[in-house]
Amino acid sequence: MRVLGIDPGLRIAGYGCIEFNRLSNQTKLIEAGAIKLDVTQSVSFRLSELFDDIQDVIKELQPEFIAVETIFTHKRQVSTATILGYARGVILLAGQRASLPLVELTPAEIKKAISGNGRATKEQMQQAVSNILKLKTAPHPSDVADALGIAITAAIRMPKL
């Protein structure tokens, strides 16, 4: 099964596509990268760019489903959650337009599944993803490792797709 994981953002949105073979329990990296958006542009401009770029990634990689991290908020960063919600919205729209099933995962469940620690640091996640995919170097930036972690967690938890 081919899974596209996306770590939403309006500065950097990470994506990672994996193939997971349930019979052999093997995970293979297909492609991963970061969509870097120009923060000097308006939010609406960046949303449009993100939508177009995600559509291109979906078209190129042909995933069977998409996995996206849910929104989390910190008391001191409520406005960040709102912006993240906008990014998630265009990602969900791109997936819907491609008629792809969606899996939503919390940051804690992704971290727990990948590293064994629901409060893992960015560095711990990068190392854990690198180990799972047998990569020579850790995915960079951390948004890419997060996206791969999202894809891996979704693949493991979706036995019927």
| Mean local confidence (pLDDT), 18-44 | 95
Cis, peptide link before residue 63, omega less than 30° from 0 = no
Q: Which of 19, 69, 109, 146 is catalytic?
A: 69
Residue 74 to residues 58, 77, 79, 82, 101, Cα–Cα distance (Å): 31, 5, 9, 11, 29
The CATH number covering residue 50 comes to: 3.30.420.10
Instruction: Flag whether pLDDT at 64 surpasses 70.
Output: yes
- 146 has catalytic annotation: no
Instruction: Tell me the per-residue pLDDT of 81-94, one tens digit each, with 9 for 90 and over.
Output: 888 899 999 999 99
Residue 61's domain comprises 2-157
- 143 has catalytic annotation: yes
Q: How many domains, the chain?
A: 1
- 53 has catalytic annotation: no
User: What is the pTM for the complete model shown?
Assistant: 0.94
Supply the pLDDT for residue 73.
66
Instruction: Tell me the per-residue pLDDT of 36-57, one tens digit each, with 9 for 90 and over.
Output: 999 999 999 999 999 999 999 9
